Amino acid sequence: MADAMNSIAIEGRSSLGPAASARPTLWAWLLLPGSIFLLVLFVVPLVGLLLLALGMPDWTMANFLRIGENPAYLTVFRKTLEISVSVTALAFLLSYPVAYALATGGPILRTILLVAVVLPYFSSVLARTFAWILLLGRNGVINGMLLELGWVSQPIAMLYNRFGVIIGMTHIIMPLMILPMYTVMSGIDQGLLRAARANGASPIAAFLTVFLPLSLPGVMAGVLLAFIYCLGFYITPALLGGVSDLTITMAISSQIVDQLNWNFGSALSMVLLVVVLVILWIGSRFFPIDQLLGLSDQKVGSGKVVRRQIGTQWLMRVGSGANALDRWLPSIGGRGITLLAGFLAVLLLLPVLIVAYLSFSSSSYFVFPVPGYSLRNYEGYFSNALWLRATFASVRVGLMATGMATVLGGMLAFGLSRGRIRGRGVMVALVLSPIIMPTIVVAVATYFLMVQVGLQGTEFGLALGHAVHAIPYVVVIVVANLRDLNPTYERAARSLGADPLATFRTIVAPLIMPAFIVAAFFAFLTSFDDVVYVLFLGIGRITTLPMRMWDGINQDINPTIAAVATMQMVFAALVIVLGTMLGRRKK
Amino acid sequence: MLMKASLSGTDVKTGSIALHNLQKRYGSATAVDDVSLSISPGEFISLLGPSGSGKTTTLMMIAGFEMPDSGRVLLDDKEITRLPAHRRELGVIFQNYALFPHMTVAENVAYPLRMRRVAKAEREARVHRVLDQVHLGALASRYPHQMSGGQQQRVAIARALAFDPPVLLLDEPLGALDKKLRQHLRNEIKTLHKQVGKTMIYVTHDQEEALAMSDRVAVMHEGRIRQVSAPQDIYRRPADLFVAGFVGEVNLIPVSIRSGVVQGPAGDKLPAAQWPDADRDATLCVRPEHLRIETAAAGTSAGIQGRIVDMTFVGDATILEFQSESGLRLTSKVLNISAKAMPDVGDACLASWAANDATILTQ
């Protein structure tokens, strides 16, 4: 099994290496439309952003110097870093046990955890942030309970301060951190732990000397992705944070939207982008990021990556020490991990569930527990022309973006899997960048481009931006499925007299159709949930559903929002269920 | 806790394992059903059976990775049934080797010693010695993925030997290797067993492996041990139809015992050495290589009349397919020793065997 994996990896690599005799196949042409699309709508805008920051056409470094000289901006950077580091650290502590239980637990526990991780992951950031507003607010659920219990005499301030931001952001990035860790952990052969036990390691020592070091690539990837996401996070800090905690994303937004200082806003964006790129570059020295996103044939954690693990020797000493204490230490692990992971799963799901619960309230205010059940919030949504118009706008934009992203992403996936091009790594980096780069920076850059071609404030322009953001998801999903598509089937069809087109129509298309459907749904979901692009590209003219929620949250905490958030989450859940079902049918 | 550094093991008297009425159920399925077995120090015993026969579950209960629902496991007369795996001091060699991918060969082999907090100098000396023993001294700083399957297998053996356990448990250790290498390593493990004199419990579904390596073979089926005997007895004197069919090829001939005579399907007397006294129906087993098929003219002894319906040349031997007048099909394997004239397809023949080569089974 392991050998087979290795040989696949070697085959995959040699076909890409410069020494390979294989030339690009005809499939490589499929890369063309998608790459041009991403070049024009992603690379060009970012270059434009750089030029703006440099004051084009009057070249100057003044904008960058101003950032360095103004202590206010240094404070912004410091606070952004403080928040990002705290959130990443807290999220790591909470995510590792969940990922561990997800990878090693029994089937029931795994199903529960998977739901608890995946459902929040795909429900909108806005809905989850809204949930925390309801929970943490002065008259929120938590304060209400504390007062009820008599533990406090007056409400504690948990919202619109550092505490609220950290809690909300941690909750939102946890799935992002758990998934790469889980990917690596589920690749760890459970037999290795048995082998450690057979060689005299207690459960704790086996964990410390075998499981933990082997899970490090996933830990690094998860921590890195989460940290980058925190640095570029806009929605949650903007909604949950206090006035004193201005982060870089808020500074960018205020420069561009409020002050109309494009050059300076661009300079701030460039700084954020460079920081992210440097972190990514350092990270890629330790592990290949594309592997964790499912775009590499190589097994995660294999080969040279493993040898770079510096902490292994140290862990070995700790493990050996822990082993000596085995007889005196109570047996932790086992049930303890299960209970902890279960508890964390509840915490992950709870905000989402509470919003759903409150959406059925009969009160026109948020009261916990609800005084009675009614559908008044849902009626409020369906009878309000503004909400409905926003929904239709979202659907129109979403459908356009989905169409473009699915077609272009699908072609890119085929080209990447079968094109055998040189410089595949560059191509992969280009394709994945839109989801790794801070959304706000890409949105700002796209905005400037749209202004130049007059597409700002149009639904088509917004859909173009959303398509760029959705393409990586489509590619990842389709590539993963293409890897399962055995080329022997196609050879068999050819040998039976089918021409290439007929082969594609009768063999390839039916086999990967489920993947395309799932990819299209996820593309739609990313567009349907987005606020950041709308904030910039919509220039106040387009009101999508999330945009209307955003306005609603900023103005008054309208209970209708709870109903909308609930419906969004139900929609996300349906997409996940559909994806799982289509995936299972294939097996 | 650790035994003397000697790996020669000639003085080792420990390493006896006793299983008493082991029982293990998964839900409603019984994986291991009332298994009892007594293994003496230094013995090489195989647990042989098809997949799902309970052999691996039995081994895992000895290793401590599965807990029996009832029954006891004893190591040198001490009960270890509930002892956690890491305190059992048994060496385990896993099916896919389970080498730690993030450690070098030397670190892998040193692992059990580190867990026992053996001092560095002693540890290194021992790693060195064990690796030499499996001829891998030169590859100590390699990583497992840089080695061939056979080499990885040797590292797994070295790691299990490093802490000098009295018993080695081997879970289909050669399953992942190709045939040639398997035969080679089979001999190596056998030689190693002679050298270190440790008790070895070897799980396999490959009957040839089990017969070739073991002092005794325990054949398992549906969670039960069907027969425990020396390889020759397993082959020559199978205890029941399952063992007869699972180990080697066999011809099964329905017979009836009437007034102390073994009668074939056509009512004729068949050769056999031992059979029950009482009248009953039974099955006569005879191995293909023991079945003689001769043209009817030459055949004067007792046997079954019929014809040759097919002949297949397989290199070292020729396989003759024979069909009796009553429709019973039998297979005979004739070694191609000399250019002896063989009967042809269609020839009328007599199938017979030496009385000693037949086994009568009554269930």
Q: Are strands B317-324 and B329-335 parallel, antiparallel or unpaired?
A: antiparallel
Q: In what order do the strands lie in the sheet with B167-171?
A: B91-93, B167-171, B199-204, B44-48, B216-221, B224-229
Closest CA of chain A from B222, distance in Å: 25
Residue whose structure tokens are 């997949």: B51
Report the alpha-carbon distance of residue B170 to residue A74 in Å, rounded: 63
Tell me which chain B residues have a C-beta less than 8 angstroms from the C-beta of A298: none
Beta-ladder partners of B227: B219
Report the alpha-carbon distance of residue A520 to residue A496 in Å, rounded: 32
Q: Is residue A60 part of a domain?
A: no
Say whether A200 and B160 touch across the interface (CB within 8 A): no
Tell me which chain B residues have a C-beta less than 8 angstroms from the C-beta of A212: none
Say whether B160 and A205 touch across the interface (CB within 8 A): no
Tell me which chain A residues have a C-beta less than 8 angstroms from the C-beta of B86: 196-203, 205-206, 323, 326
Say whether A191 and B95 touch across the interface (CB within 8 A): yes
Closest CA of chain B from A192, distance in Å: 5
Asked whether B16 and B41 are in contact (CB, 8 A), the reply is yes
CB nearest B102 (choices: A202, A206, A306):
A306
Report the alpha-carbon distance of residue A29 to residue B45 in Å, rounded: 61
Beta-ladder partners of B38: B18
Closest CA of chain A from B229, distance in Å: 29
In angstroms, the Cα distances linking B349 to A48, A123, B297, B302 are 94, 79, 8, 12
Give the CA-trace dihedral at A433, A439, A442, A446, to 10 degrees: 130
Q: Give residues with Cβ within 8 angstroms of A363, minimum separation 6.
A: A370, A371, A372, A559
pLDDT score of A311? 61
Any CB–CB contact under 8 A between B82 and chain A? no
Element (H, E) at A99: helix A71-104
Please report which residue ranges of chain B form alpha helices under DSSP H.
55-63, 105-115, 120-133, 149-162, 179-196, 207-213, 231-236, 241-246
Q: Which domains does chain B have, with CATH numbers?
A: 3-242 (3.40.50.300), 250-361 (2.40.50.140)
CB nearest A303 (choices: B91, B100, B145):
B145
* Stretches in chain B below the pLDDT threshold 70: 1-12, 296-301, 339-340, 363
Containing structural domain, residue A13? 4-53+70-586
In angstroms, the Cα distances linking A24 to A16, A17, A482, B204 are 9, 12, 18, 47
Say whether B101 and A214 touch across the interface (CB within 8 A): yes
Nearest to A290 by CA among A95, A478, A472, A40: A472
Closest CA of chain B from A486, distance in Å: 23
* DSSP letter for each residue of A102-168: HHHS-HHHHHHHHHHHHHHHHS-HHHHHHHHHHHHSTTSHHHHHHHHHTS-SS----SSSHHHHHHH
Say whether A2 and B96 touch across the interface (CB within 8 A): yes
Q: Is residue A374 part of a domain?
A: yes
pLDDT score of A4? 32
Any CB–CB contact under 8 A between B101 and chain A? yes
Q: Which residues of A make CB contacts under 8 Å with B?
A: 1-3, 6, 189, 191-192, 194-203, 205-206, 209-210, 213-214, 301-303, 306-307, 309, 312, 316, 319-320, 323-324, 326
Report the alpha-carbon distance of residue B137 to residue B144 in Å, rounded: 14
CB nearest B98 (choices: A194, A205, A303):
A194
pLDDT score of A439? 93
Q: Which two tokens stand for residue A300?
A: 């995660």
Question: Which of A2-41 are b and which e, b meaning 16 or more Cβ less than 10 Å from the residue's Cβ?
Answer: beeeeeebeeeeeebeeeeeeeeeebbebbeebbebbeeb
Counting the structural domains of chain A, the total is: 1
Asked whether B316 and B335 are in contact (CB, 8 A), the reply is yes
Q: Alpha carbon B214 to chain centroid distance? A: 7
Please, what is the angle between helix A44-53 and helix A439-453, to 10°? 90
Any CB–CB contact under 8 A between B201 and chain A? no
Tell me which chain A residues have a C-beta less than 8 angstroms from the C-beta of B94: 191, 194-195, 198
Phi then psi for residue A296, to 5 deg, are: -125, 150
Walk along chain A (587 residues) and give the pLDDT tens digit of each residue: 333 333 223 233 333 334 344 677 788 899 999 999 999 999 999 999 999 999 877 788 888 888 888 898 999 999 999 999 999 999 999 999 999 999 988 888 888 898 899 888 888 889 899 999 989 988 888 998 898 888 888 888 998 999 999 999 999 999 999 988 998 899 898 889 999 999 988 888 899 899 998 898 889 889 998 999 999 999 999 999 888 889 999 999 999 888 888 889 999 999 999 999 998 888 877 766 666 555 554 444 444 444 445 566 777 777 777 777 766 665 555 577 888 899 999 999 999 889 899 899 888 777 777 888 999 989 989 999 999 999 999 999 999 999 999 999 999 999 998 888 888 888 888 898 898 889 999 999 999 999 999 999 999 999 999 999 999 999 988 988 887 787 778 877 777 778 778 888 888 888 888 889 989 998 999 999 899 999 999 888 999 999 999 998 888 778 889 999 999 889 888 888 887 787 666 54
Closest CA of chain A from B115, distance in Å: 5
Q: Alpha carbon B195 to chain centroid distance? A: 21
Say whether B86 and A198 touch across the interface (CB within 8 A): yes
Decide: residue A242, CB within 10 A, 0-12 exposed, 13-18 middle, 19+ buried: middle
Report the alpha-carbon distance of residue B86 to residue B81 in Å, rounded: 13
Closest CA of chain A from B193, distance in Å: 19
Q: Is residue A65 part of a domain?
A: no
Q: Is residue A62 part of a domain?
A: no
> Would residue B260 be called left, alpha or beta, if left means φ above 0 and alpha means ψ between -120 and 50 degrees?
left
Tell me which chain B residues have a C-beta less than 8 angstroms from the C-beta of A189: 96, 98
Q: Give residues with Cβ within 8 angstroms of A549, minimum separation 6.
A: A126, A127, A130, A531, A561, A564, A565
Any CB–CB contact under 8 A between B230 and chain A? no
Say whether A199 and B94 touch across the interface (CB within 8 A): no
Any CB–CB contact under 8 A between B86 and chain A? yes
Q: Which 3 state secondary structure label does DSSP give A522?
A: helix
Assessment of whether the complete model's pTM goes beyond 0.90: no
Say whether A200 and B112 touch across the interface (CB within 8 A): yes
Say whether B86 and A189 touch across the interface (CB within 8 A): no
Any CB–CB contact under 8 A between B150 and chain A? no
Report the alpha-carbon distance of residue B96 to residue A235 in Å, rounded: 49
Say whether B65 and A319 touch across the interface (CB within 8 A): no
Q: Give residues with Cβ within 8 angstroms of A105, minimum separation 6.
A: A113, A338, A341
Q: Which two tokens stand for residue B108?
A: 């892998």
Report the alpha-carbon distance of residue B99 to residue B154 in Å, rounded: 11
Q: Which of B83, B100, B107, B163 best tests the A interface by mutation, with the highest count of A CBs <10 A? A: B100
pLDDT score of B262? 86
Say whether A195 and B116 touch across the interface (CB within 8 A): no
Report the alpha-carbon distance of residue A77 to residue A72 in Å, rounded: 9
pLDDT score of B300? 59
Q: Identify the DSSP state of A301.
A: T
* DSSP letter for each residue of A176-202: HHHHHHHHHHHTS-HHHHHHHHHTT--
Q: Which of B86, B93, B147, B169 best tests the A interface by mutation, with the highest count of A CBs <10 A? A: B86
Q: Which 3 state secondary structure label does DSSP give A445?
A: helix
Q: Tally Cβ neighbours within 10 Å of residue B38.
A: 13
Residue A175: which CATH number?
Answer: 1.10.3720.10
Beta strands in chain B, from DSSP E residues, in sequence order? 17-26, 29-39, 44-48, 70-75, 78-79, 91-93, 167-171, 199-204, 216-221, 224-229, 251-258, 261-263, 280-286, 292-295, 304-313, 317-324, 329-335, 348-352, 359-361
Any CB–CB contact under 8 A between B64 and chain A? yes
Q: Which two tokens stand for residue B340?
A: 């002896």
Q: Is residue A59 part of a domain?
A: no
Name the residue of chain A whose CA is nearest to B104's CA: A307
Q: Identify the DSSP state of A508.
A: I
Tell me which chain B residues have a C-beta less than 8 angstroms from the C-beta of A214: 100-102
Q: Which 3 state secondary structure label does DSSP give B236?
A: helix
Q: Is residue A64 part of a domain?
A: no
Angle at A173 between CA A580 and CA A435, to 5 degrees: 75
Q: In what order do the strands lie in the sheet with B317-324?
A: B292-295, B348-352, B304-313, B317-324, B329-335
Amino acid at A522: F
Nearest to A188 by CA among A205, A160, A158, A209: A209
Q: Is the peptide bond before A97 cis (omega within 30 degrees of 0)?
A: no
Residues 308-327 in B contacting A (C-alpha not used; CB under 8 Å): none
Name the residue of chain B whose CA is nearest to A210's CA: B100
Nearest to B111 by CA among B99, B121, B95, B125: B99
Closest CA of chain A from B92, distance in Å: 6
* DSSP letter for each residue of B285-306: EE-GGG-EEEETTT--SS-EEE
Q: Is residue A61 part of a domain?
A: no
Q: Tally Cβ neighbours within 10 Å of residue A339.
A: 12
Q: Is residue A58 part of a domain?
A: no
Beta-ladder partners of B321: B310, B331
Three-state SS letters, A249-291: HHHHHHHHHHCCCHHHHHHHHHHHHHHHHHHHHHHHHHCCHHH
Any CB–CB contact under 8 A between B163 and chain A? yes
Amino acid at A299: K
Nearest to A550 by CA among A440, A328, A390, A427: A390
Report the alpha-carbon distance of residue A315 to residue A304 in Å, rounded: 19
Nearest to A483 by CA among A420, A575, A413: A413
Asked whether A445 and A49 are in contact (CB, 8 A), the reply is yes
Tell me which chain A residues have a C-beta less than 8 angstroms from the C-beta of B143: 306-307
Give the CA-trace dihedral at A216, A217, A221, A223, to 10 degrees: 10
Report the alpha-carbon distance of residue A273 to residue B361 in Å, rounded: 81
Any CB–CB contact under 8 A between B98 and chain A? yes
